[in-house]
Each structure stands twice: as structure tokens, then as C-alpha cells.
Structure 1
């Protein structure tokens, strides 16, 4: 369990870092070029590492996998595109917070319904409270920032 927690923390950190990089690339190129670069370089790196580290797994998976699982890369196009635009429009912290809330809510729904072959987990009040606390934290974060910006606007010279 400790290893799983550690890896999840690393994954979250890497996603946050990748989102910042993607936003910087997007400022110089555009959404579709950014998406192509991110996923293209990701494919190339994954393919090379996979061929080196797991050659048998890289070539023997096709007969054993349901065809619709192959399309998860298309979902990645939506993820990168939406995150780049969301960060441009909302800023990094707010966009990532909204994304994490969406991930948490959808993961809870998939777990409790047992969709896509996941083991069904009973829905509990604790889970609901956890999601609501998470969402409340985003509202506190966003409203707190708005209040600070309003104070700064009032304090500017010439506005008295």
C-alpha cells in the first residue's frame, strides 16, 4: 500500500508538471501542435522503453485484449487538449483542481457501479463526505483568491 501511495503521489506530481510544460508549449504553438508533440513524444518514448524493457509484452498483447481497449490513446487526445485549454482559461491551479474533482467523481462512479469490469465497491457516506470536502476546498480556494483580488483592486492608488 505504501508503494501505491508513493507512486500515486509521483504520478500526480508528474501530471502537474506536464500540464505546466504543455501550457508553455501551447503559448508558442497551439493546442493541436501541443497535443501532437505531447502524445507523439510520449508514444516514441513508451515504445522505445517498452521494446527494451518488455519486448514480449509489446508484441504479444493484441490477441488477448478487447479491441475497444486499444482506443484509450484517443482519450489521451481529449485529456491533453482539454487540459491545455482549461489551464489557459482558468489558470493552472484551478484547472487542475477541477480536473481532479472530475477524476475523483468519475472514479467513484465507476467503482460503485463496477463499470468496465472493475470490482464493484459499495458506496458509503464516508466517500460522499470525502468528495464533498474536496469540492468545498476548491470553492474555498477559488473564492479566497477572488476576495484577495478584490482587496487589491480597492487598495490601488487613485481608487480611494
Structure 2
């Protein structure tokens, strides 16, 4: 249950962040918005880290360098989301983002990329994905 609550919180924050970034992007530029967002995100994470103090920095060297690219993906996410919101609106942007996330997570789960345990996808999961895609198409009409 706790994981589900955090997933809902994360989803809400992604939407709020996207809308805020689009407004910032209109005022100062898209890459500037991405920079401001990454900087404020870093500062917030650092502040939380100072209070929570979890984890083990000594294990830092064990992390695969490929996984250290997560922040760079974040910059692309912000730029793409800001651009999409300005062109197609919040609803369709978030819908497309969710569908893209689900499609890629299916590939990651079924192939075991990034060291995740391989998962088998069943027919109902694919039906759910296609229903989401159909829902976005219907919403667009």
C-alpha cells in the first residue's frame, strides 16, 4: 500500500512539474526551464538527504556508470515535456508520457534490462495498454 501511495504522489508531482516547467519555459526558454528544474530538484534532494541521512556513500563505486545517466535523462524529460505541453496541452502530453513509459517498462521487464528480474507479461496487461492507447485516441477526437 505504501508503494502505491508513493506512486500516486510521484504521478501527481510529475504533472505539476510539467505544468510549472511549461510556464517557466514560456517566460525564459525551454532549456532554461530544464536547468532551473534540475537545480531546484538537486537542492531539494540535498536538503532531504541532510535530514534523512540514509544510504551508504562508500558503496558509490559499485554503481554501474550507465546508471549514473539518470539525471541526463531527466533533462531530456523536462525539455520534451515542456515542448509537448506547449504544443499539445497537458492532458495529451501526460497521456503520451504514460503510454511511452508503459511500453518501455514492458520491454525492460520482459528482457531484464538494468538487472531487473524478468517478468512475463500476460494478455490482460497488453489489453490494458491497448485500451489506454485507444482511450487517448478517443480523447483526442
Fold match (TM-score > 0.5) = yes
Equivalent residue, structure 2, for 1:67: 65
Aligned-residue offset at 1:135 = 0.4
When the two chains are superposed, the root-mean-square deviation of aligned CA atoms in Å is: 1.3
Q: Are 2:21 and 1:22 aligned?
A: yes
The unaligned stretches of length 5 or more in structure 2 are none
Aligned-residue offset at 1:58 = 6.2
Equivalent residue, structure 1, for 2:33: 34
For the residue of structure 2 that corresponds to 1:57, the secondary structure is: coil
TM score, norm. by length of structure 1: 0.83
TM score, norm. by length of structure 2: 0.94
Aligned-residue offset at 1:68 = 1.6
Equivalent residue, structure 1, for 2:42: 43
Aligned-residue offset at 1:87 = 0.6
Equivalent residue, structure 2, for 1:77: 75
The unaligned stretches of length 5 or more in structure 1 are 144-160
Greater Rg, structure 1 or structure 2? 1
In 2, are the aligned partners of 1:22 and 1:34 still within 8 Å (CA)? Answer: yes
Say how many residue pairs are matched: 141
Aligned counterparts, 1:95-106, within 5 A: 95-106=93-104
Equivalent residue, structure 1, for 2:115: 117
Aligned-residue offset at 1:47 = 1.4
In 2, are the aligned partners of 1:114 and 1:120 still within 8 Å (CA)? Answer: yes
Aligned-residue offset at 1:97 = 0.5
C-alpha distance in 2 between matches for 1:44 and 1:6 = 24
C-alpha distance in 2 between matches for 1:12 and 1:120 = 24
In 2, are the aligned partners of 1:104 and 1:131 still within 8 Å (CA)? Answer: yes
C-alpha distance in 2 between matches for 1:85 and 1:61 = 37
